[in-house]
């Protein structure tokens, strides 16, 4: 049996499912495009003498400046001296927004808010020269938590990939120190931890290699070594082990934590003497 125009009707019925299928596939393709992962950025880094991860960044087109990564820091900190150099002022709460903050490798942070402050960890590392370079700030949790970081310490670049969402700024009152972090940690839910972590020891001196040995060039006022060591002292040995380089001094002090005593053999004005320094809290 046949009908007038039957072939045209058949062709129309064949095309209709195809059109429906195409309309069904378009939203799926759009959803797949929306779900595409964020771009990955290769950010160069290096380890400092104290094994902190150091990256470089340009701020408002100037730099580069040295920053360490620290998940224990609640926020992005920028040293006040650098802020003055850049002409950036903080609001009444101590925060400032940078127009452009670009990590080496091309990763551009979107107008990040930073705390303009000098945490004592930053001051101490700069005055003692522990990092081997001048540090200009700390990239902390409010930035790092927005990215998936992949680090292979056998390579000189790490991978940063943006995550969805935005981590809110922490509430910080007063000077940005470990005290601020304590308040942040107390506010988190979870079982009480009984394990006690002791911080790396901090000597509070600046050392330099001079005349085949290690000389004290500066002592941090109020630091652990104040009143025990002074500029001009030569450190001949640490824990009875002779040293000739700053790297050897760092290696011998590194295993000790705050509260431990470090025994040194010091030469001052031609006299050889034994002294002890009780380490303070470092990073």
CA distance 267 to 9: 105
Share of the chain above pLDDT 70, in %: 74
Collapsing DSSP to helix, strand or coil, 53 comes out as strand
Question: Do β-strands 95-97 and 157-162 pair in parallel, antiparallel, or remain unpaired?
Answer: unpaired
- Is it the case that residue 35 has pLDDT exceeding 80? no
Residue range 191-227, pLDDT digits in tens: 444 344 455 677 889 999 998 999 999 998 888 999 9
Q: Which part of the chain is CATH 2.40.70.10?
A: 42-184
Residues near 250 by Cβ (< 8 Å), separated by ≥ 6?
49, 50, 130
Backbone angles phi, psi at 103, to 5 degrees: -75, 150
Residues of the chain with CATH 2.30.42.10: 201-281
- Between the two ends of the chain, the Cα-to-Cα distance in Å is 91
CATH number of 42-184: 2.40.70.10
For residue 12, give the 3-state DSSP assignment: helix
Query: pLDDT averaged over the chain?
Result: 79
CATH-assigned architecture of domain 201-281: Roll (2.30)
The model's pTM: 0.51
Q: How far apart are CA 85 and CA 223, in angstroms?
A: 27
H-type helices in 35-113, by residue range? 80-86
pLDDT band at residue 169 using 50, 70 and 90 as cut-offs: low
Residues 89/25, Cβ–Cβ less than 8 Å:
no
CB atoms within 10 A of CB 8: 9
How far apart CA 53 and CA 94 sit, in angstroms, is 26
Give the pair of three-digit tokens for residue 123. 């001051």
């Amino acid at each position: 049996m046949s009908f007038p125009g039957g072939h045209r009707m058949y062709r129309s019925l064949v095309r209709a499912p195809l059109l429906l299928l195409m309309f069904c596939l378009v939203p799926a393709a759009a959803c797949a495009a929306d779900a595409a992962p964020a771009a990955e950025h290769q950010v160069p880094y290096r380890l400092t003498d104290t094994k902190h991860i150091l990256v470089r960044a340009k701020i408002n087109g100037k730099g580069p400046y040295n920053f360490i990564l620290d998940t224990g820091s609640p926020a992005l900190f920028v040293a006040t001296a650098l802020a003055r150099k850049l002409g950036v002022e903080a609001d009444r709460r101590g925060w400032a927004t940078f127009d452009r903050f670009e990590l080496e490798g091309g990763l551009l942070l979107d107008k990040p808010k930073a705390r303009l402050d000098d945490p004592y960890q930053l001051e101490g590392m700069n005055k003692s020269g522990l990092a081997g370079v001048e540090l200009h700030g700390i990239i902390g949790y409010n930035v790092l938590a927005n990215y998936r970081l992949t680090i292979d310490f056998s390579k000189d670049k790490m991978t940063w990939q943006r995550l969805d969402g935005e981590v809110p700024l922490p509430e910080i009152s007063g000077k940005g120190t470990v005290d601020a972090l304590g308040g942040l940690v107390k506010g988190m839910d979870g079982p009480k931890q009984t394990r006690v972590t002791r911080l790396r020891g901090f000597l509070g001196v600046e050392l330099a290699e001079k005349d085949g040995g290690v000389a004290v060039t500066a002592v941090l006022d109020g630091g652990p070594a104040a009143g025990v060591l002074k500029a001009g002292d030569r450190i001949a040995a640490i824990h009875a082990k002779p040293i000739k380089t700053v790297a050897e001094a760092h290696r011998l002090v590194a295993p000790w934590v705050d509260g431990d005593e470090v025994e040194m053999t010091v030469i001052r004005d031609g006299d050889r003497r034994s002294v002890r320094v009780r380490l303070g809290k470092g990073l």
